[in-house]
Amino acid sequence: MRILVLGRGKTGSLVASVAAERGHSVRVLDEAQNRNAMALTPPLLVVYDVVIDFTTPEAAVHNMRACLATGAKMVVGTTGWYAHLDDMCALVQRHSAALLYGTNFSLGVQILFRLAETLREEARGYEISIEETHHITKIDAPSGTALSLQDIFKAVNPETEVEIVSHRVEDVHGEHIITARSADDVLTVKHESHSRRPFAEGAVRAAEWVQSRTGCFDFHDVFPQIYA
């Protein structure tokens, strides 16, 4: 498979390495080479089977508009752009493209989401809060993963109060803690990342899955198929 990776940051570079390890041909474009998606022309995009985006929220929107308008297949691991999700999915439909997006491509975090869904059903009457910690270079706060967790708990009742506390410190790949508190006890569920590799591997597996499909997909909905 031929993969174009957008973004030469730590995660994007690791995605390229993992893709090469899995036998794919890879090219990486950094943001300086692709300002306002100017490099994403139809003659370039037709060469690649899937485009993987790990850039910034603003850049990702430009990149998606350029790629999806050509019918390209995309995996977007960038977060912070979801206000544009409906527009992007409409673009996918118009051009028979494919978009697989997710707040976190780590298998461990997907398991955390499933645990959160169970906690939502079983811990009624508990007060839920979320705490997340990331490296100081992470742009968005709260993290997309924390917002996904919040959405899980608010899915049954949108009026549910679920506080998110964010921390930005040196040299932390990512930590998310769910706390369920009652008058009598406290239950804590924690996921801590020691490496970016699970994110990168999940993104490459997502690209392998989406290359033969059209439509708009949330990684959380399809990850059991991807990891089957």
How far apart are alpha carbons 86 and 79 in whole angstroms?
A: 15
| Residue 134 annotated as catalytic | yes
For this structure, is 190 an active site residue?
no
SS3 of residue 29 by DSSP: strand
Asked if residue 142 has a cis previous peptide bond (ω within 30° of 0), the answer is yes
Whether residue 92 contacts residue 216, with contact meaning beta carbons closer than 8 Å, is answered with yes
Q: How far apart are CA 39 and CA 151, in angstroms?
A: 35
List the beta bridge partners of residue 33. Answer: none
Query: In the sheet that 50-53 helps form, which strands lie side by side, from edge to edge?
Result: 25-29, 2-6, 50-53, 73-76, 98-101, 215-218
Distance of alpha carbon 8 from alpha carbon 13, whole angstroms: 5
End-to-end CA distance of the chain: 20
Q: Which is catalytic among the residues 73, 138, 173, 220?
A: 138
**Active-site pick, 62, 73, 134, 173:** 134
Task: Just list the catalytic residues.
Answer: 134, 138
